[in-house]
Amino acid sequence: MTTAPDTYNYDPTAPADRRQSGGVTGWASRYVDERTGISYVVKEFGRKIFPDHWSFMLGEVALYSFVIILLTGTFLTFFFQASMAQVTYDGSYGPLKGLDMSAAMQSALHISFEIRGGLLIRQVHHWAALLFVASIGLHMLRIFFTGAFRKPRELNWTIGFVLFILAMAEGFTGYSLPDDLLSGNGLRIIAGMVQGIPFVGSWIEWLVFGGQFPGTAIVGRLYTLHILLLPAAVLAFIALHLVFVVTHKHTQYAGPGRTNDNVIGYPILPVYAAKAGGFFFIVFGVVMLMGAFFTINPIWTYGPYDPSPVSAGTQPDWYIGFADGALRLMPGWLGGPGGIPMEFTILNTTYSLNILIPVLVLGLFIVVVMAYPFIEAWITGDKREHHIADRPRNMPGRTAVGAAGVTFYAVLWAAASSDLIATHFMLSIESVITILQFSLFLAPVLAYFVTKRICLALQKKDRQIVLHGYESGRIVRLPGGEYIEVHEPVDEYERWKLVSFNEYEPLMIRPNAAGRIPVTERARAVVSRWFFEDRIEPVSSTELEVAHHH
Amino acid sequence: MATMNSDDTKRRKRGRRSPLASVALVLTGLLITGGAYALMTAASPANADVNMASAQSISQGKKLFAANCATCHGLNLAGTSSGPSLIGVGAAAVDFQVGTGRMPLAQDAPQAEVKPPVFDETQTLQMAAYVASISPGPGIPASSNLTLTGDATKGAELFRINCAMCHNVAGAGGALTEGKYAPNLMKTTPAHIYEAMLTGPQNMPVFNDANITPQEKQDIITALKVQNQAAGVGGFDLGSLGPVAEGLFLWIFGLGAIVAFTVWLTAKAN
Amino acid sequence: MANDDSKDLLPLDGHTTVRDPGTAVERSDALLNPGMPPHRLRVTDTDPRAARRAERVVVLLFYISLIGSIFAMTSYFAFPIKPNDLGSVRLNNVFIGLGLAFALLAIGIAAVHWAKVLMADQEGIDIRHPVHGDVQTQARAVEIFRTADRESGFNRRVLIRNGMIAAIAALPFPAIFLFRDLAPAAGTPAEAYSHTMWKAGTRLTKDPTGDPILASDVTIGSVFHVIPDGLLTAPDMLEEKGKAAVLLMRLEPGVLHVSPARKDWNYDGIVAYSKICTHVGCPVALYEQQTHHLLCPCHQSQFDITREAAVIFGPAVRPLPQLPITVDSEGYLVARSDFHEPVGPSFWERRGDYSA
C-alpha cells in the first residue's frame, strides 16, 4: 500500500494535526483503518457506480425481505416451542380452550394472543416470507427477459436459482411449524408424495417423520432446518451472489453514453447508500402495514392438526402452489376412469405414475430454467461478455420462450386454486380442471407465438420511429390538398435506445475439419433457426440516411 | 353563523396541517370496521308468531303451497318429475328452503341459490305447518336451542370434523362436484344452520340428533359465531380463503406497492 | 464442446481480448453511440426556495418517523392485551403496527427524497474490465498449479492419489448410516402401513366423542365420521387415527352395487370406507348424499360410493378401501375385520393381490 506515512503516525492528542486531517471523522476512520485496512475497501467501493432503473431494485426487495425475516424470526424463536408434546390449551382464544394440541401450536397461539406485538411480528414474518419468494421470482423474470444472465453472469444465475429453491424450502418448513390443521394436511400430502417414490419412498418418509405419520418428531426436525441449516445456506448463497454482483458490476440498459465497457449511474456514497438504505425501510414499512391490517395464516381458525378433518380450500402458500397444481392436473386414469391407470403393480411392487409424472415434469422444468443461460449460450455461440441488458422485444425468441415458461407455471399455479376458481366464477370443478389440463400444453404454445409476434411488431414500430419519427397527431393540409400527419423526428439520444441491440442470425452449419457435421451442430442449427429465423435488424446509418433523403 | 364558520375552517386547516391527519383517518376507518364486525355478530333468530298446530295456519299454508309449490312437488307432496317428494321432510326443511330464498327455484342450476325470500316469515311458517301436518318430520328448532351459549371448543372441533371439508374451517364455503358448492356460512342465521344439519338440504348429508346431538348442534353454531367474531383479530381476513387469497394479495398489493416505490425511487427528480 | 472458451480466445495485447461473437451479426454501418446527453438540472438545483422546501420536507419526514416510534411504544402500553379479550389483541396489533409502519416508511421516504432532490445529481462513470485475469495472471495461475503438482507428485504418485480419493469417497457413507435411527429401529414402513387398529368386533364410534353408533341411528342420507373404539386412549392416537379414520354412510336400498366377495361387508345399506385418500392421503370426506360421490378437497379426486368407492375423477387411481362391518348383540356397529388392504397413499412395497 502506498499511503502517505504521516497519516499513519497521526497523534490524536495534537489539536493542530486534527484540524489538518479531517477532524473526528478523519480520526475515527484512521483508527478503524489501522486495525482493519478498510480504507482499501472504501476507496474501491465507496464511489462505485450503480445504474438507476426500477427493475434493478427487485433483488434488493428480496434481500431486504430476508433481513426482515431474520429480525422477526429471531423474535419468534424466543417464544416458539418446536415440540409435538401434547398439552391442553388454556389461552385467550375461546373456541380452542381445553383442547389437546401440540406445544408448537400452543406456543404459536401464545405468541399470537398473549405476547404484546407477537401477532404483529408473526404476521410480518409470514408476509415477508411470501414477499421474499415473490420478489425473487420477479427478480428472476427481470434477469431472464433482459438477458442479464449472459456471460459472465451464468453462474450467478445458477446461484440465484439455488436461492429461489432454498427460499421455497424455508417457506415450506416455516409454514409447517405451527402444527395447525392446514399445515398438517400439507405435510400429509408431502408424506404421501414421498411414499410414492420407487424403492426408497416409504423408507424416506419413515425416516423423515421418525416412524408413522405424523409422529412426534417432524416439527422439531423442520425447525432445525428452518432456523439453522436453511438460513445459513441462504446467507452463504446471498454472500456469493453479491460478491459476483460486485465482481461483474451491474448491467445497464442501452442508452446514450452507455457502452459494454462502462457503467453510468450514481455513486454508492452518498446517493445509492441513501436510496438503497431508505428502500430497506420502505420495504419494511410496507410489510409492517400488511402485518398490521391483514390477517395471514389464522392458525386459530384452522385448529390443531388432527388426521381426520380437513378444510375446503386446503392450499399451500403461493410458491408451492405450482407443485400442488401439478398433482391436481395429473389424471389418475388417462382417458377417464376405465382408461389407462397411472398406478399399477408389477411383481408386488407399486408404480405410482400419478405422483412420479408431476414430480418429474416439475423437475425437468426446474432444470431447464436453471440451465437456460448455458442453453442460450450454446445456441448463439456468443463468447463475448454482455453488460448491456436487452429490451425484451429485441430478443423475440428468448422472450417468447420465457412467456411460454411463465404461462406453463401460471397454469400449474392456477390449478392449485381450481376449487376457488370454480366457486368464484360459478364453474364446475371438473371443467376447470379439464380446461387447465389442456391449457398446460396449449397455452404455452399460444403464448410463445403471440409473444414472438408482439415482439417483432414492437421492433418494427421502433424501426418506423427511427426512420420516420413519431406520429405527432398533427394533421397538415398540403398546398395540393393532400392531408398528411406530421412526424416528429426522434433525437439522437432517443434513437440510440432504439437501435443499439444485439441481433443474431440462424446458424449456418459447415462441415468440421474432418469433413463431417456432428449431430450436436445439426441440433444447434435447428434450435438456432427456431430462435432467430424471424428477426428485425436494427436501423443502420445507411438506412437512416436514405430515409432522411425522402 | 359567521364565527362558527371561521372556527370550522380553522379547525379544518389545523387538521389538514397535522401530520397525524392521515393516521386519524385510517384509525377512524378501522374503528368503524371493528364496530361493524361487532354489530354483524349480534343478530339473533326472531320467530314470527305462528301457531304451527292450528288448523288456520295449516289451511293458509295449504293454499300457499298449492299456488306456489305444488306444480313441482305435487299437491299431496308426493313429488313429480320436476321436484322431489316432500313426505317426511318436516317443517325444518320448509323453513330452511323457503326462508333462505332457495325455494321457489328461480332457474335450472346445479343447485338452488340463496335469494331474498319470496315469502315473509308468517307465510313460510304456514307452509311449514302444512307440510308437517301431512307427514311428520324434523321440526323447526326451538329458540332455546339457538341461544349461542354452547361450548365453542367442542363445537369448533365438531365443525372441523363434520363440516369444514365442505364449508371450510372459517365457514367460507367451498367447491363440490359438477358445479355444486357448499355455501358460505358467515351470514347464515343460527336457525337455518340448525335446520340444514337436521334435514340435509340437497347434497348435504343429514346430521340427525343421534349423530350430532341438539346440544352439539348448538355448540357448532356457537363456535361459528365466536370464530366469525375473532376472524378479524389480525386485521382484514381477505375472505378467510386461506393461502390463495394471501398470495394474490401479496403479489398484487404488497409487491405492487413496492414496485411503485421502486419506480419513484429511481425516477429522476424534476 | 462448443462452450469451451479457451480456443476462442484471440489475445490482442496483455489486457484486451476479442471473443467469438458466435452467430451475432456485427455491422460496419451500425449507428454510433451519441455519447452522454446534456445534463438536465433539477428544480432544486436552480431554485433555492425549492431546495429549502425539499429540506423542510425531509426534516418533517424524519420527525414523523420519530412520532411513529413514540406512537408504537405508547400503543404497547395504551392498548395492552387483556386476558380472554381478542378485541384487545386486535387493537394492540393494529396500533403498534401502524406506529412502526409510519416510523419505517417515513425514514425510507425521507432518505430517498433527500438523495433524489438534495444530494449532488452528478452521474458517474465506472470503466468495466473483462472479468477474467490478464494473460500473465492466467499463465501464472496455471504455473502455480503445475508447480504444486510437481512438488506434491499428485499426478505422478498415482497410488497415493487414488488411495486418497477412495478414502474420501467412502467417508460420507457412515454419515448416511447414522441417519438410520431417525426412525425407530423396530418395524418397517410397509408393515406399519398395512395394519390399522380395526379388528373383528371393534365398535365404530363417533369422531371425536368416541360414542358407539347404533345401526338404527344411521338414517338414509346420513354420514358419520368414525374412529375405532379405544382410539382416544391409544398411545399413538394421532398415528392410529391417521390410518383408521372411516366414513360411514347409509344409502337408499338398491343403489349399492355390491360385488360377491363383499356381500356381507355392508350392513343394511350402511357402508364404511377409509377416509384417507389413496392419492396422497388427505381426508376424503365431502360426501354428497344425492349423487353418492365423495370428493377430496385437496386434489379433487372423486369416488363413487355406490360402486365400492371407484375413482370417477381426479388424480387418484385406486378405490378407497372398504371396512367390513356388521352389528353386535346390542345393535352397535362393529368391524368384521381390519381393512383387507393398506389404507392411504401407494408405496413401493404395496402388493397387487390384496383384493383377491
pLDDT in tens, C208-267: 999 999 999 999 999 999 999 999 999 999 999 999 999 999 998 889 999 999 999 999
Q: Please compute the mean of the pLDDT values over residues A208-234 and round it to a whole number.
A: 96
A29 and A70 belong to one structural domain: no
Nearest residue in A to B162, CA atom: A309
- pLDDT, tens digit (0-9, with 9 covering 90-100), for C276-302: 999 999 999 899 999 999 999 999 999
Of A405-409, B20-24, B60-64, B85-89, the one with minimum mean pLDDT is: B20-24
pLDDT-derived band at C355 (thresholds 50, 70, 90) equals low
Q: How many CB atoms lie within 10 A of CB B80?
A: 13
Contact between A455 and A396 (Cβ < 8 Å): yes
For residue C15, pLDDT beyond 60: no
A30 and A78 belong to one structural domain: no
> Which of A288, A322, A417, A530 to mutate against chain C (most C CBs within 10 Å)?
A288
Look-up of cell digits 399460444:
A446
In order of A96, A140, A399, C86, the CA distances from A92 in angstroms are 9, 43, 53, 7
Distance CA C66, CA C110 (A): 12
- pLDDT, tens digit (0-9, with 9 covering 90-100), for A452-475: 999 999 999 999 999 999 888 889
The radius of gyration of chain A from alpha carbons, rounded to an integer in Å, stands at 29
User: Where exactly are the structural domains of chain C?
Assistant: 40-126, 137-175, 193-350
Element (H, E) at C225: strand C223-228
- pLDDT, tens digit (0-9, with 9 covering 90-100), for A358-414: 999 999 999 999 999 999 999 999 999 999 999 999 999 999 999 999 999 999 999
A85 and A43 belong to one structural domain: no
DSSP state at residue A268:
I
Q: How many CB atoms lie within 10 A of CB A514?
A: 7
Chains that touch A (3 or more CB pairs under 8 A): B, C
> Which of C98, C289, C303, C332 to mutate against chain B (most B CBs within 10 Å)?
C289
Same fold, B49-134 and B143-230: yes
Q: Which of B34, B177, B265 sits opposite C288 (nearest CB)?
A: B177
Task: Specify the pTM.
Answer: 0.92
Quick one: cell of A90?
388454556
For residue C4, pLDDT beyond 90: no
Of A107-111, A224-228, B91-95, the one with minimum mean pLDDT is: B91-95
One-letter amino acid of C230 = G
Residue of C232, C278, C228 whose CA lies nearest to C248? C228
A115 and A41 belong to one structural domain: no
Residue of A216, A218, A224 whose CA lies nearest to A205? A218
Q: How many CB atoms lie within 10 A of CB C318?
A: 25
Distance CA A246, CA A63 (A): 15
- What are the residues facing A388 on neighbouring strands? A252
For residue A310, pLDDT beyond 80: yes
The radius of gyration of chain B from alpha carbons, rounded to an integer in Å, stands at 25
Helices (H), A78-180: 103-113, 118-145, 154-176
Determine, for residues C102 and B23 on separate chains, whether the beta-carbon distance falls below 8 Å.
yes
What is the CATH code of the structural domain delimited by B49-134?
Answer: 1.10.760.10
Answer yes or no: is A316 within a domain. no
> Which of A183, A294, A324 to mutate against chain B (most B CBs within 10 Å)?
A294
Secondary structure of residue A405 in the 3-state scheme: helix
**Maximum Cα–Cα distance across chain C:** 100
- Mean of per-residue pLDDT scores for chain C: 91
For residue A417, pLDDT beyond 50: yes
Half-sphere exposure of A209 (CA within 13 A, CB side): 26
Chains that touch B (3 or more CB pairs under 8 A): A, C
- pLDDT, tens digit (0-9, with 9 covering 90-100), for A10-22: 455 555 555 556 7
Burial class (CB in 10 A: 0-12, 13-18, 19+), C76: middle
A85 and A221 belong to one structural domain: yes
Q: How many CB atoms lie within 10 A of CB A441?
A: 10
Half-sphere exposure of A409 (CA within 13 A, CB side): 17
Distance CA B32, CA B198 (A): 37
A140 and A104 belong to one structural domain: yes
Instruction: Give A511 or A359, the one with higher predicted confidence.
Output: A359
Quick one: cell of A429?
370443478
Q: How many CB atoms lie within 10 A of CB A157?
A: 23
Q: Please compute the mean of the pLDDT values over residues B48-55 and round it to a whole number.
A: 75
Nearest 10 degrees: CA dihedral of B119, B122, B123, B128? 110
> Which of C126, C193, C307 to mutate against chain A (most A CBs within 10 Å)?
C126
Look-up of cell digits 435411527:
C181
Secondary structure of residue B175 in the 3-state scheme: strand
Residue B140 in contact with partner chain C when CB distance is under 8 A: no
Determine, for residues A350 and C345 on separate chains, whether the beta-carbon distance falls below 8 Å.
no
A208 and A288 belong to one structural domain: yes
Q: Please compute the mean of the pLDDT values over residues B218-224 and round it to a whole number.
A: 95
Residue of A164, A314, A302 whose CA lies nearest to C295? A314
Provide, as residue numbers in chain B, all residues whose Cβ is less than 8 Å from the Cβ of A317.
243, 246-247
Q: How many CB atoms lie within 10 A of CB C216?
A: 10
- CATH number (domain holding residue A158): 1.20.810.10
Distance CA A238, CA B264 (A): 26
Q: Which of A114, A199, A258 sits opposite C81 (nearest CB)?
A: A114
Burial track A220-254 (b if 16+ CB lie within 10 A, e otherwise) = bbbbebbbeebbebbeebbebbeebbeebbbbbbb
Contact between B98 and B127 (Cβ < 8 Å): yes
Helices (H), chain B: 2-17, 21-40, 55-68, 70-73, 90-99, 121-134, 152-162, 164-167, 190-199, 214-230, 243-249, 255-266
Answer yes or no: is A448 within a domain. no
Look-up of cell digits 367447491:
B175
DSSP state at residue A22:
T
For residue B41, pLDDT beyond 50: no
The radius of gyration of chain C from alpha carbons, rounded to an integer in Å, stands at 38
Answer yes or no: is A480 within a domain. yes
Provide, as residue numbers in chain C, all residues whose Cβ is less than 8 Å from the Cβ of A345.
350-352
In order of A302, B9, B15, C156, the CA distances from B3 in angstroms are 58, 10, 18, 104
Distance CA A156, CA C89 (A): 45
Residue A322 in contact with partner chain C when CB distance is under 8 A: no
pLDDT-derived band at B265 (thresholds 50, 70, 90) equals very high
Q: Please compute the mean of the pLDDT values over residues A276-285 and round it to a whole number.
A: 98
Q: Which of A202, A293, A493 sits opposite C189 (nearest CB)?
A: A202
Residue of B217, B224, B187 whose CA lies nearest to B200? B217
User: Where exactly are the structural domains of chain B?
Assistant: 49-134, 143-230
- What are the residues facing A457 on neighbouring strands? none
pLDDT at residue number C10: 44
Helices (H), C24-183: 43-46, 48-78, 86-113, 135-152, 158-170, 172-178
A88 and A192 belong to one structural domain: yes
CA torsion through residues A441, A443, A446, A452, sign:
negative
Determine, for residues C131 and A152 on separate chains, whether the beta-carbon distance falls below 8 Å.
yes
Determine, for residues A290 and B254 on separate chains, whether the beta-carbon distance falls below 8 Å.
yes
A163 and A275 belong to one structural domain: yes
Nearest residue in A to B34, CA atom: A293
In order of A62, A200, A285, A319, C67, the CA distances from A137 in angstroms are 9, 32, 21, 9, 35
A172 and A223 belong to one structural domain: yes
Segments forming the whole domain that contains residue A501: 456-549
Q: How many CB atoms lie within 10 A of CB B221?
A: 29
Burial class (CB in 10 A: 0-12, 13-18, 19+), C185: exposed
Helix A321-329 / helix A429-468 crossing angle, nearest 10 deg: 120
For residue A8, pLDDT beyond 90: no
pLDDT at residue number A532: 93
- pLDDT, tens digit (0-9, with 9 covering 90-100), for C54-90: 999 999 999 999 999 999 999 999 999 999 899 999 9
Answer yes or no: is A382 within a domain. no
- pLDDT, tens digit (0-9, with 9 covering 90-100), for A344-363: 999 889 999 999 999 999 99
Distance CA C274, CA C247 (A): 6
ipTM score:
0.93
Phi/psi for C271 (5° steps) reads: -125, 150
- pLDDT, tens digit (0-9, with 9 covering 90-100), for A143-162: 999 999 999 999 999 999 99
Quick one: cell of A416?
392449485
In order of C131, C244, C283, the CA distances from C225 in angstroms are 66, 11, 11
Helix A201-208 / helix A181-195 crossing angle, nearest 10 deg: 150
Of B142-151, B169-178, C169-178, the one with minimum mean pLDDT is: B142-151
pLDDT-derived band at A235 (thresholds 50, 70, 90) equals very high
Domain count, chain A: 3
Please work out, in degrees rounded to the nearest 5, the angle formed at the alpha carbon of residue B164 by the alpha carbons of C213 and C333.
10
- pLDDT, tens digit (0-9, with 9 covering 90-100), for A320-353: 999 999 999 999 999 888 899 999 999 889 999 9
Q: Please compute the mean of the pLDDT values over residues B92-96 and round it to a whole number.
A: 92
What is the CATH code of the structural domain delimited by C193-350?
Answer: 2.102.10.10
Right CATH for B143-230 from 1.10.760.10, 1.10.150.120, 3.90.1300.10, 3.40.50.170: 1.10.760.10
A47 and A173 belong to one structural domain: no
Quick one: cell of C274?
377409509
